[in-house]
């Protein structure tokens, strides 16, 4: 049995995880953490994880960036592994994640879905063939109107998969509105769309002379991310300190 703490238990993703866990026999929710709680959950809920006094095997985090610093402090102090799913972290926070991973197991992923992580692997193969052939690379992502960070963490992760193959020589470009010149060869363009209730759409476009190849992923519900987080929690229990990602979970 894996006992978990849901960090951000009353948010949309936290509630999605709790619904899925009702069908799970291998995982039990030991506690939740959320700044806002109405006492409706059948487990104790703390406003700050640093005040949590319930033991657990793993923390699953779907919260907000400002709450991550306290989360990392808690996980290091208690030596509890953490599935870190919150996006939009600052460069300083990312350094803190690396430091924390030296003390406890941290699994960080911009996107928890199996499909996205398989797509990252496919992109590396495509980039090795298409980039040297002169194909331009663009990434377009679409999310609901409430999402505050842009481009999405998933879009950046897809870009990083491409950039890794290219030796980091390509520049990331987020805005061309003030530029009046031809597109340079060595750049990866990012475009962000925000509207409605779009769960998450990502297109990676390889545009060549007279042909275009597009890799697409569509998420139709938040359940795909919750399922991945649950699998990651099972994987992370008992793991030694280190920084893991979903490729470790799915064995890519």
For 178, 209, 251, the CA distances from 128, given in Å and listed in that order, are 31, 17, 21
132: how many CB neighbours lie within 10 A of its CB?
9
Q: Is 109 annotated as a binding residue?
A: yes
Sequence-ordered strand ranges (E) for 150-210: 171-173, 187-194, 200-208
The neighbour count for residue 243, using CB atoms within 10 Å, is 15
How many H helices and E strands in the chain?
Answer: 7, 12
Q: Is 9 annotated in some ligand binding site?
A: yes
- Residue 86 annotated as lining a ligand binding site: yes
Does the annotation flag 117 for ligand binding?
Answer: no
Cα–Cα distance measured from residue 79 to residue 242, given in angstroms and rounded to the nearest whole number: 12
Q: Is 2 annotated as a binding residue?
A: no
- Whether residue 191 is annotated as binding a ligand: the answer is no
Query: Is 221 marked as binding a ligand?
Result: no
112 is in an annotated binding site: yes
In the set 108, 142, 143, 237, the catalytic residue is 143
CA–CA distance, 174 with 152 (Å, rounded to integer): 12
Q: What angle do CA 251, 68, 241 make, to 5 degrees?
A: 45
**What is the biggest distance separating any 2 CA atoms in the chain, rounded to whole angstroms?**
62
252 marked ligand binding residue? no
14 is in an annotated binding site: no
79 is catalytic: no
186 catalytic? Reply is: no
Catalytic member of 28, 147, 227, 234: 147
Catalytic residue set: 143, 147
Annotated binding site for NAD(+): 8-13, 85-87, 109-112
Annotated binding site for (S)-2,3,4,5-tetrahydrodipicolinate: 144, 153-154
Annotated binding site: 8-13, 85-87, 109-112, 144, 153-154
């Amino acid at each position: 049995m894996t006992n978990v703490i849901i960090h951000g238990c009353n948010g949309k993703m936290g509630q999605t995880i709790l619904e899925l866990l009702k069908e799970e026999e291998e995982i039990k929710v030991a506690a939740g953490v959320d700044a806002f709680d109405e006492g409706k959950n059948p487990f104790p809920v703390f406003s700050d994880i640093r005040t949590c006094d319930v033991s657990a095997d793993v923390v699953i985090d779907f919260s907000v960036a400002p709450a991550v610093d306290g989360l990392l402090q808690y996980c290091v102090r208690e030596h509890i592994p953490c599935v870190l799913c919150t996006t939009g972290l600052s460069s300083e926070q990312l350094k803190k994640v690396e430091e924390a991973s030296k003390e406890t197991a941290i699994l960080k992923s911009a996107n928890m879905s199996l499909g996205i992580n398989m797509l990252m692997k496919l992109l590396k193969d495509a980039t090795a063939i298409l980039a040297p052939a002169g194909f331009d690379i663009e990434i377009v992502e679409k999310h609901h109107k409430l999402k505050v960070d842009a481009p999405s963490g998933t879009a950046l992760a897809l870009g990083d998969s491409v950039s890794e193959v290219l030796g980091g020589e390509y520049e990331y470009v987020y805005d061309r509105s003030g530029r009046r010149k031809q597109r340079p060869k060595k750049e990866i363009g990012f475009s962000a769309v925000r509207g409605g209730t779009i769960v998450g759409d990502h297109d990676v476009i390889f545009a060549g002379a007279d042909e275009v190849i597009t890799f697409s992923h569509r998420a139709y519900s938040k359940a795909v991310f919750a399922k991945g987080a649950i699998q990651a929690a099972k994987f992370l229990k008992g793991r030694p300190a280190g920084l893991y990602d979903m490729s470790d979970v799915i064995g890519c």
